[in-house]
Amino acid sequence: MTDTTHGMTLACRGVSFSYEEARAPIPALRDVGFELGAGRSLALLGASGSGKSTLLQVVKGLDAPEAGEVLLDGSGSADAGYAELRRQVGLVFQTPELQLFAASAREDVAFGPRRLGWPEADVSAAVDEALELVGLPPEQFGGRHPYALSGGEQRRLALAGVLAMRPRLLLLDEPFVSLDPATRRELSRILSRLRAGGVTLVLATHDVDLAWALCDELLVLDAGRVAAAGPWDVGEAGRELLAASRLREPFLVELWRRLGRDPATAPRTTAAAAEALR
């Protein structure tokens, strides 16, 4: 079975992409370049329509870049083994629960691994593991019809369908949208565990607080171009850059600054903040 303990490295070099429309092509990505190390987590930020979803689809290989290339573990699309690397990239779409279709939770999660031609015993083990990982124990939830689950359970089931294929690079498109706060906290814990397990994560989101809690680095897109890439800049320049992209600084960074503390020391979690302020 695929070794999932090592995350994949990701690099984009000069990636451009346009959508075709009758009148004229709409440029969505322009000369996008960045690198992400194995097991690192990246917050993909930017205003609505800045190209976040498009970039995830190009990295997954659903759309071919018209210029530039996507390197997975250093390999490009012309290299042998690229198709296998691409299979190890998991993409969780926006509102993925709309794509649940099977008659039971277990069958829905099994669809991907089966399509990869895995032996049935491996499929079964992967399904159990994935359901466990997202907090839907297979003995309790495996036989349930997906539509009989709550919205938050459906979101986690859809995530399990991607995790069952044991991705080494996991791309998530607005995974927290429309979830209630308790389910957000649960999903945040799941992603923290995946991160601790070594999976490389890319999280496209408008939620800068969850991005701050979960991600080592950030990539800010502005009209399809890279406006910033690398570690979070919590200084004045970083704050202005986020504001220019219709974003804001994370709550804990803002709080540290307003309390006269060094924003560079701002904690990543509420619990750590309470410990520091106690």
Contact residues toward another protein (CB under 8 A) are: 19, 21, 23, 26, 46-50, 52-53, 94-95, 150-152, 174, 177-185, 206, 208-209, 243, 245-248, 251, 254-255, 258-259, 270-271, 273-275, 277-278
Torsion of CA 257, 261, 263, 268, to 10 degrees: -100
Which residue number, 217 or 222, has a Cβ lying nearer to another protein?
Answer: 222
DSSP codes of every residue in 71-133:
EETTB-TTSTTHHHHHHTEEEE-SSGGGG--SSSHHHHHHHHHHHTT--HHHHHHHHHHHHHH
At CB < 8 A and 24+ separation, what contacts does 207-210 make? Answer: 207/176, 208/43, 208/45, 208/242, 208/247, 208/248, 208/249, 208/250, 209/250, 209/251, 209/252, 210/176, 210/184
- CB 76, CB 82: distance < 8 Å: yes
Instruction: Output helix, strand, coil percentages for the chain, rounded to the nearest 5.
Output: 40, 20, 35
The nearest distance, CB 164 to another protein, in angstroms, is 22
Which residue number, 18 or 41, has a Cβ lying nearer to another protein?
Answer: 18
- CB 82, CB 71: distance < 8 Å: no
The nearest distance, CB 256 to another protein, in angstroms, is 11
**Containing H/E element for 28?**
strand 26-36
The nearest distance, CB 41 to another protein, in angstroms, is 20
Which residue number, 52 or 195, has a Cβ lying nearer to another protein?
Answer: 52
Burial class (CB in 10 A: 0-12, 13-18, 19+), 140: exposed
Which residue number, 95 or 104, has a Cβ lying nearer to another protein?
Answer: 95
The nearest distance, CB 150 to another protein, in angstroms, is 4
Which residue number, 113 or 152, has a Cβ lying nearer to another protein?
Answer: 152
The nearest distance, CB 14 to another protein, in angstroms, is 23
Which residue number, 177 or 237, has a Cβ lying nearer to another protein?
Answer: 177
The nearest distance, CB 223 to another protein, in angstroms, is 11
Which residue number, 63 or 128, has a Cβ lying nearer to another protein?
Answer: 63
The nearest distance, CB 166 to another protein, in angstroms, is 27
The nearest distance, CB 252 to another protein, in angstroms, is 8
DSSP codes of every residue in 219-274:
EEEETTEEEEEEE---SHHHHHHHHHTT----HHHHHHHHTTS-GGG--SSHHHHH
Helix (H, G, I), strand (E, B), or coil: what is residue 44? strand
Which residue number, 164 or 213, has a Cβ lying nearer to another protein?
Answer: 213
